[in-house]
Structure 1
Amino acid sequence: MTLEIGKMYNGFKLLEESTIKEINSKALLFQHEETGARLLKLENEDDNKVFSIAFRTPPKNSTGVAHILEHSVLCGSRKFPTKEPFVELIKGSLNTFLNAMTFADKTMYPVASRNKKDFFNLMDVYLDAVFYPNIYNYPQIFMQEGWHYELEDKNSDITYKGVVYNEMKGAYSSPESILMRKISESLFPNTTYGVESGGDPDFIPELSYEEFIDFHKKYYHPSNSYIFLYGDGDVLEELKFIQDNYLKDFHRLNIDSSIKIQPSFPKMREMTVDYPISPNEKEEDKTFLSLNFAVGKSTDKELYLAFDILEHLLLETPAAPLKKALIGANIGKDVFGIFDSSILQPSFSVVVKNSNEDKKDEFKQVVFNTLKDLVENGIDKKLIESSINIKEFALREADFGGYPTGLIYGIKCMDSWLYDGNPFMHLNYEPQLEKVKEALRSNYFERLIKEYILNNNHSSLLIVKPKKGLGEEKEEQLKKNLKSYKEKLSEKEINNLIEETTKLKERQTTSDSPESLKKIPLLSIDDIERNTEELPLELGEESGIKILKHNIFTNKIAYINLYFNTTVVPQELIPYVGLLSSVLGKVSTKKYSYEELSNEVNIHTGGIYYTATAYSDSKELDGFVPMLKIKAKALTEKLPDMFKLLGEEIESSKFEDYSRIKEIISELKSRMEMTIFDRGHMVTAGRVASYFSSVGSYLESVTGLTFYHFIVELEKNFQSEKENIVNKLKEVSMLIFNKENLTVSVAMQEEEYKYFRDNFSILYNRLGSRKLQCYEYNFNLKPENEGLMTSGKVQYNAKGYNYRKLGYEYTGAMQVLKTIISYDYLWNNVRVQGGAYGCFGGFNRNGNMYFVSYRDPNLRGTLQVYDGAVKYLKSFNTDEREMTKYIIGTISDIDSPLTPSMKAEKAAANYFSRITTEDLQREREEILDTNINSIRSLANVVDSCMKEQYICVLGGEDRIKENKDIFNKVINVFE
């Protein structure tokens, strides 16, 4: 049906229609006549439909009101009065995405599903949540999700508790998080960007319930909303649903949610911020130096794209001139850039990590002198071409790492729409890309550097430096403040606090009524496809090499993954496999300097990436296949160039450039430190698996904390060990890159396979061919049970074991158990009652199982909750409707949409793990047939694993020392 501009459709007037050829979509821009609600539909053939409603929510302080509200509106509403409809949907819908997001100036509520009925169910729950939340009826929601005084009896100490409070305590434990937050404050001190929308733990307890409610009343109205729809759904049906069920009940309001512009500074501002480190950590080489610049407006579509590319070419590749200059001047050990374009006034930052405060002047000098030199003498055109190409490749590929395409497009639309610009200006990127390409023939980027960096007073120098004992000081001050607060309370006020705590716990521990639960819309088992999707995989051979062929539409992009079996590496050299994967592509080769190599790769390919990994053998207990995986992608006609570059990196890398190897090791150490703070739950889950699992122990040695400590030692002793390090890298490289241990995965359409077949010899001829010895690895598996101490103020608690070693076998019902444990038992006990930000369980086919928590204020209590799962499972009981919900939620997780490259990778992983389509079909049927007895029968699996007492905790030094009796070892993560 053709819609007409200016006509009304179900309460919405069509304002504009446009074809966006870049994303193969038709854009329809509407406005709701009665309320002024804005609505954008991107119409296309994608069956992974996306809906989002967003509100402009500029906070005025750092109490985290926008963030707490984002959590809280999803805790029950008018039509769906259960305590957490959000969790019920995770457990029981076929969603492909379900979450909410707080940005600096907006709050978004996106959902996605491939099932039409499910999609409308999700829209219904989310629209009811944002417009009619239960926060007005239950102050306990604010207490649980935001913050509250916890007092169980008169003799106890008062403490702060709350999910967002603990989440942000975790965020403020990471120096990188503090840096990111303070950059905005340094540049925009007088606007909403000068405060912390997520909430600063020091200020969150200043937020009152009344202010929280007022924020919702002011901003969560259709007149302040931005509704986004994407996919193959019927737009008129979607508009009718939104109008008839929600918007018809509202009238237009004049809501001032405008975002003020920060006037430019007369001169650069300087700001210094401390971050906490443990008393036994050294302060040297732990300062962050950051130069930051306000860059126009995000509604300047050409500047928006151009600066993204400029940041890449200046700071993100081995050839990046600003990065090279800073590393070469020994300002710090890691350099990276940030271009934040999701705010009204985008910011560009140059960051040096592992530096010292006394280098700030030299830092400024090197940055400005380097940029002046680039302006005067010009930027290397090959570098410009390479950065434009890699960004253009990413734009056209539209592979967002598993996130629904529509979700990312929706977020990108908000980068202009929120500021009254055209919502699809950044999707329609071809015109501005052509203008940026003028840089290949002119001084385009040089002009940008001059105008927006060198001659820009709207800038800041930010110093984020370590301070020993700062965390302890803050905790001590907090205890004093709370003690003083309690002492000033009357007996009646103390009793009121105890009563409020009791009421909250009662609400948290009281189950939703069956009537309330039935109001959450639910699909039936009949809505689920009973047959597993067969991933494309056909075995072939080229020159004696096994080829995994994936015949799939890839839009003329060839995805080539090379899998080298690394059992040819002796056990004592295993960590060097991880190091090799970090070095290749970043050092010079016989033909190219590392700068030239980086440019060539970015000009001719979509990227070449090296990863040390391993695949568990599903048939053999504790068996696994270690691999060095190379992921490479290019347009099919560029395959000859890609194979030449791969061969060059594999065969001709020069490891003897000691200074370059040292730089790579230092950067690797820095990046791993960021990961440890940001993904502590994965650190502990991997660490605990290394105590009882060979594949876990291997992965620890090439990617985990063991590998991090290996890198720390290499950096510390580099001068004395450099020759040894280089010799071992050479040895490992020679062993791995051999025809004897290679399998290749090729994802492209059958008719394009000839491009691969005709050019594969370019790479094949550069591989070694001598017979190699394969090694059997024997790891010293035992319960290390470590307490891993950091300066953080939250914990990441992991406990697990391998159930197959105890005689149990894998069954698909374990995936339903994972859903039940993660979103029912652990959610209620660790997150809702315990105040942790996250928690979940895992049951892997190889037998490894674990429970883990994320940004958790507790330690011993959470481990006790894990042990209590057995009792919960033995008496597990639910009705048929709830069991259906658990099954649907499990299938939703298993059926996550995959991009062509992801399908190929998953098919290859199944091949190496010896998981057949029959295995996957059996698993699916076991999931669909799961019942109460299936879950109860798994109680013994959990019981047996918990009794093995394998634990690992990453967390605050004080908390770990308080509980040192439960650990066999207590160690400092950082020096």
Structure 2
Amino acid sequence: MFRQVKSVVRRLQHLRYSGPQHAWRLKSTSAQERALQYQPGQSIHGFTVKEVVSVPDLFLTAVKLTHDQTGAQYLHAARDDSNNLFSVQLRTTPRDSTGVPHILEHTVLCGSERFPCRDPFFKMLNRSLSTFMNAFTASDYTMYPFSTQNSKDFQNLLSVYLDAVFFPCLREQDFRQEGWRLENEDPEDPASPLVFKGVVFNEMKGAFSDSERVYAQQLQNKLFPDHTYSVVSGGEPLDIPDLTWEELRQFHATHYHPSNARFFTYGDLPLEQHLQQIQQEALSRFQRIQPDTHVPPQPTWTSPREDHVTCGPDAMAPDPSKQNTVCMSYLLGDITDTFEAFTLSLLSSLMVAGPSSPFYTALLEPKIGSDFSSVVGYDGSTRDASFSIGLQGMAEEDIERVKGIIHQTIDDIIRTGFEEERIEALLHKIEIQMKHQSTSFGLSLASYIASCWNHDGDPVELLQIGEFVSRFRRCLQDDPRFLQDKVKHYFQDNPHRLTLSMRPDEAYRHKQALAEQERLHRKTRALSEHDHQEIYSKGLELLAAQSEPQDASCLPALQVSDIQRTSPTTPVNMGTAGGVAVQYCEQPTNGMLYFRAMCSLNTLPEELKLYVPLFCSVITQLGCGSLDYRQQAQQMDLKTGGMSVCPLVIPDSAHLDMYEQGVLLFSSCLERNIPDMFGLWSDIFNSPHFKDEDRLRVLVMMSAQELANGISDSGHMYAMSRAGRSLTPAGDLQETFGGMEQVKFMKRMAEMSDLSPVLRALPRIKKHILNPENMRCAVNATPNKMSSAVKDLESFMEQVARNRRSHQTSRPTIVERPIEASDASRKLVSEVGFQPCQVNTFYPMPFPVNYVSESIRAVPFTHADYASLCILARMMTAKYLHGEIREKGGAYGGGARMGGGVFSFYSYRDPNSVQTLSAFRRGVDWARSGSFSQQDIDEAKLSVFSAVDAPVAPSDKGMGRFLNGLTDEARQGHRERLFAVSDKDLVDVASRYLGFGQQTSGAAILGPENESIKKDPSWIIK
């Protein structure tokens, strides 16, 4: 996966740790205490301990080691967390845009010395209980991480990862499949035209169909023109065909060596065990080399530069006449200066984050553009950090005006500085982020330290966040102009500044297609008849290899017997506050309180439903009570960990045509701020501001732009949503709230010259939603704070009750389900007259790849067949669809999933469309034929249970019960049904629910113009 590590704007937000969990795993001493027993200079399995540091802020002990024989660097973070993580990171610094590190990342996962079967990486997804498995290619490093809660699983995965990275097969056939190849369009027809194929080739074509990605890549290339950052590490599609198999193998030999590696382990498993396995299975076979992968600092310019690029027009843009982007990007300091990097990251947040920030006020509020440029704020993912600020969605004639505003805002910051309360709000946010417990802390930690460590910075020093905060405060006390002087040095007086503008070109995609055709022509015009025959033969060989059953017996695997037969229970207490049902869940939340409220939409008139996502987006951003929107945002930062509202559609677990519709309120805070948090909610309920049309327009434009930008990254989700719309009432509403219908609705609102009708709709929605009569709440907190939280919640409800107005309205055409005693606070509805039907929808999109889905009406969660369909979806993905859609078809991904009563097929960044729909159908035939083994079933069960048993943070405990009404008993019943699924069950459900003529289905495609679809009357063209 190509990861352009650009959104490190708020780097610390990724670093949230999980406090002590899973006490049953703990020995007589904690993992941190055991790690403190190591001594610098101590030798352990070929490694020498260099440093042992306690990091109390993060409840961990860091042990830094070096491998004696190769010089490989190693960091172990010992914590009482059962979700153990391993990663190995290589510094990969390409000097061209052929995508060699990205293609290599894919190819090393296609078989290795000990595990020569094709695609062991994807096969291990179904042979383990991993909580995470993936690989990432950044601009200057490649990382291979996994995590699991099972110690045997950890050792299995470690063996596979070590062998893949250091001893891969790197077969030419794998390079051709994953990277690029010339092949007949129909591999079995030598007369069909030659085309470019390959998973990475198609992935990057899809990635660069996103104008935001194009801009971010060009900005980096032009700001750092003198070394590895001047090229595209993921691969420029037109340059990828220049890469040869031999060059790939050579890049591996020089870059994938332990002397160029950084190993990271995290969790409560013993360090010695990791070191012994890594030494025995990999490092003992290497000697130290000088890999020569060092990235030099970017030479600084003596004067600023300007440049311009083009992109394709966006049909979903909020204002089609305003699709220009301009941004100023500044070269900052070396990221290995950890305190300076910390300071600049905070400074960036003060400059751009939130409505009180200077650049938000100067650039967004005048409504010159729709949102900040796609790259904004501090970026520490490169050797030298950078800061970028600009606008997208603007008119070309405003570019010079925006440049002037940026310069003027910098001058203003130097003159006036920042309010003390804003600085405190930012430091409070860091405190919250350090307190909040995450289930993926190990992965967040690995990502957080990756860039700095990659350039030989000190990863342990980077973890001393509490010390950084203290030092930052001292700097502010010692020098009141500390931050202003930084702004002057890095921005006003900095000659290394790039101003990059981008405008749409109507012919952009046509030019791209012509360029690809010319590239293809150059590759093919010199081919001899023998070359054509060889290409045809290799195509048949690859197709045969992809179709051949694979023997995966060489791979390690857990057994179904390794899965716990019962899942842990979560005790909750039920009560009321001000007449509202409340679920109380006592958890070790590390001094945090988490509040949720589900507010029903049952009384909301149908014509207001489309406005609900907008209402949710703006209700916490318009101001409330005595606070304007800037003051409200500041108080939220000072007193909470965030306050959000989102629409929620919850299919009923027992009835396919019933569901719950509502909005979910969520907030968190430190225990000392509980009264302030509920005070803010009280003001939002009782006196929200709905009069500022200028403010609303800014929020509407930002929301519309964000939705438009997100389609190319999440096209498969939009396709699945649309395909399932006509199958269940819940699916219909989900499409309304979060599908292409909502994208188009927001685009229409962004185009409105007068938003006063929208302003008038918002208070009407508020009366129906923010009403205690239609609410239920949940609180997760520590036991010693729960009683005081109950009092504050009671006070909040009483304030709301005193101020609410009576509003009886006619109800829409819905019927509430009879309420069971255990389910008394949930209000389920069914739409009168809903009839499932087949609807096929095609959305022509300016992409060179497709997103395809077919969805089938199935059964609800508690139905006896639901578990079988879950196992079937996972097994079809791994054993059939992956090979057909990704390996043969060249899509980046594809598969099947079961959820919400609907069985869905999907593909992602897919060069095919109708062919993929045929692959879905063939997958059903494969399942109905019973062409699978008991091992296949067991592997699918392992994969499903890895999700069922994924770790749950204290903040989220009990949420299944609160949101879905699922008791521990209901979850255990589902678990037992999963265990019991047999081969007969799978064939049976495949025939009864998925077989042709047996099902009600819908389909959707988002992609380029498609003549065959347009000629098919069964498709609706949007």
| Shorter-chain TM band | over 0.9
Q: Structure 2 regions of 5+ residues with no counterpart?
A: 1-33, 815-830
Change (3 A) 1:904 1:636: farther
- CA deviations on 1:358-392 (whole Å, 9 max, x unpaired) are 32221111011012112102222222222222233
- CA deviations on 1:849-876 (whole Å, 9 max, x unpaired) are 1101110010010000011122100223
Question: 1:156: which partner in 2?
Answer: 192
Question: 1:792: which partner in 2?
Answer: 847
2:343 aligns with one of 293, 306, 309: 306
Contact 2:857 2:1000 in 1 (8 A): no
Structure 1 residue matching 2:225: 3-state secondary structure: coil
1:389 aligns with one of 428, 431, 438: 428
Determine if the alignment matches structure 1 residue 444 to structure 2 residue 477.
no
1:752 aligns with one of 773, 785, 788: 785
Contact 1:20 1:427 in 2 (8 A): yes
Structure 2 residue matching 1:265: 3-state secondary structure: coil
Contact 1:612 1:629 in 2 (8 A): yes
Contact 2:654 2:861 in 1 (8 A): no
Question: 1:852: which partner in 2?
Answer: 906
2:537 aligns with one of 496, 499, 513: 499
- CA deviations on 1:804-849 (whole Å, 9 max, x unpaired) are 49998643122211211222211010011100001121212x4211
Structure 2 residue matching 1:295: 3-state secondary structure: strand
**For 1:794-943, what aligned pairs fall within 5 Å after superposition?**
794-804=849-859, 810-844=865-899, 846-911=900-965, 915-940=966-991, 941-943=993-995
Deviation of 1:771 after TM superposition, in Å, equals 6.1
Question: 1:80: which partner in 2?
Answer: 115
Deviation of 1:199 after TM superposition, in Å, equals 0.8
Deviation of 1:763 after TM superposition, in Å, equals 2.3
Question: 2:24: which partner in 1?
Answer: none
Structure 1 residue matching 2:608: 3-state secondary structure: helix
Change (3 A) 1:640 1:758: same
Identify which range, 794-803 or 333-342, moves more after superposition.
333-342
Identify which range, 698-707 or 51-60, moves more after superposition.
698-707
Structure 2 residue matching 1:63: 3-state secondary structure: coil
Name the Cα RMSD after superposition. 2.1
2:1014 aligns with one of 956, 964, 967: 964
Tell me how far apart the structure 1 counterparts of residues 168 and 773 of structure 2 sit (CA, whole Å). Answer: 62
Contact 2:432 2:670 in 1 (8 A): no
Tell me how far apart the structure 2 counterparts of residues 944 and 802 of structure 1 sit (CA, whole Å). Answer: 13
Determine if the alignment matches structure 1 residue 726 to structure 2 residue 750.
no
Tell me how far apart the structure 1 counterparts of residues 514 and 1012 of structure 2 sit (CA, whole Å). Answer: 15
Determine if the alignment matches structure 1 residue 478 to structure 2 residue 516.
yes
Question: 2:826: which partner in 1?
Answer: none
Deviation of 1:749 after TM superposition, in Å, equals 2.2
2:326 aligns with one of 284, 289, 296: 289
Q: Structure 1 regions of 5+ residues with no counterpart?
A: none
**For 1:157-556, what aligned pairs fall within 5 Å after superposition?**
157-277=193-313, 284-335=321-372, 337-399=376-438, 404-438=440-474, 441=477, 442-483=480-521, 485-513=523-551, 517-556=552-591
Using structure 1 for the length normalisation, give the TM-score.
Answer: 0.95
Deviation of 1:308 after TM superposition, in Å, equals 2.4
Deviation of 1:437 after TM superposition, in Å, equals 3.2
Question: 2:94: which partner in 1?
Answer: 59
2:934 maps to a residue whose letter is E
Identify which range, 801-810 or 333-342, moves more after superposition.
801-810
- CA deviations on 1:489-548 (whole Å, 9 max, x unpaired) are 2110110111111111111111113xxx11111122221100123234332112211001
Question: 1:146: which partner in 2?
Answer: 179
Change (3 A) 1:593 1:302: same
Question: 1:953: which partner in 2?
Answer: 1005
Change (3 A) 1:381 1:806: closer
Deviation of 1:968 after TM superposition, in Å, equals 4.9
2:93 maps to a residue whose letter is P
2:894 maps to a residue whose letter is C
**For 1:110-125, what aligned pairs fall within 5 Å after superposition?**
110-125=145-160
Deviation of 1:582 after TM superposition, in Å, equals 0.9
Change (3 A) 1:10 1:484: closer
Change (3 A) 1:478 1:378: closer
Change (3 A) 1:806 1:613: closer
Identify which range, 225-234 or 373-382, moves more after superposition.
373-382
Tell me how far apart the structure 2 counterparts of residues 440 and 709 of structure 1 sit (CA, whole Å). Answer: 47
Contact 1:739 1:769 in 2 (8 A): no
- CA deviations on 1:873-898 (whole Å, 9 max, x unpaired) are 02233443333222112111211112
Change (3 A) 1:647 1:50: same
Determine if the alignment matches structure 1 residue 766 to structure 2 residue 800.
yes
Tell me how far apart the structure 2 counterparts of residues 605 and 596 of structure 1 sit (CA, whole Å). Answer: 14
Corresponding pairs, count: 956
1:289 maps to a residue whose letter is V
1:716 maps to a residue whose letter is E
Deviation of 1:780 after TM superposition, in Å, equals 7.8
Change (3 A) 1:910 1:345: same
Tell me how far apart the structure 1 counterparts of residues 744 and 656 of structure 2 sit (CA, whole Å). Answer: 29
Deviation of 1:144 after TM superposition, in Å, equals 0.6
Deviation of 1:962 after TM superposition, in Å, equals 4.3
Identify which range, 320-329 or 849-858, moves more after superposition.
320-329
Structure 1 residue matching 2:328: 3-state secondary structure: strand
Percent identical: 27
2:427 maps to a residue whose letter is I
- CA deviations on 1:283-318 (whole Å, 9 max, x unpaired) are 521112111112211112122222222222322212
Identify which range, 71-80 or 274-283, moves more after superposition.
274-283
Deviation of 1:939 after TM superposition, in Å, equals 1.4
Tell me how far apart the structure 2 counterparts of residues 644 and 122 of structure 1 sit (CA, whole Å). Answer: 49
- CA deviations on 1:672-703 (whole Å, 9 max, x unpaired) are 11211211111111111112221111122222
- CA deviations on 1:138-176 (whole Å, 9 max, x unpaired) are 201001111111123432111111111111111100011
Change (3 A) 1:969 1:663: farther
Deviation of 1:220 after TM superposition, in Å, equals 0.7
1:575 aligns with one of 582, 594, 610: 610
Deviation of 1:256 after TM superposition, in Å, equals 0.5
Contact 2:39 2:51 in 1 (8 A): no
2:871 maps to a residue whose letter is V
Tell me how far apart the structure 2 counterparts of residues 819 and 274 of structure 1 sit (CA, whole Å). Answer: 41
Contact 1:92 1:887 in 2 (8 A): no
2:504 maps to a residue whose letter is P
Contact 1:378 1:443 in 2 (8 A): yes
Deviation of 1:782 after TM superposition, in Å, equals 4.6
- CA deviations on 1:610-657 (whole Å, 9 max, x unpaired) are 101111111222211111111100011211000111111232221111
- CA deviations on 1:258-304 (whole Å, 9 max, x unpaired) are 01211111122212111123799885211121111122111121222
Tell me how far apart the structure 2 counterparts of residues 365 and 387 of structure 1 sit (CA, whole Å). Answer: 28
Deviation of 1:57 after TM superposition, in Å, equals 0.6
Contact 1:636 1:755 in 2 (8 A): no
Tell me how far apart the structure 1 counterparts of residues 859 and 58 of structure 2 sit (CA, whole Å). Answer: 47
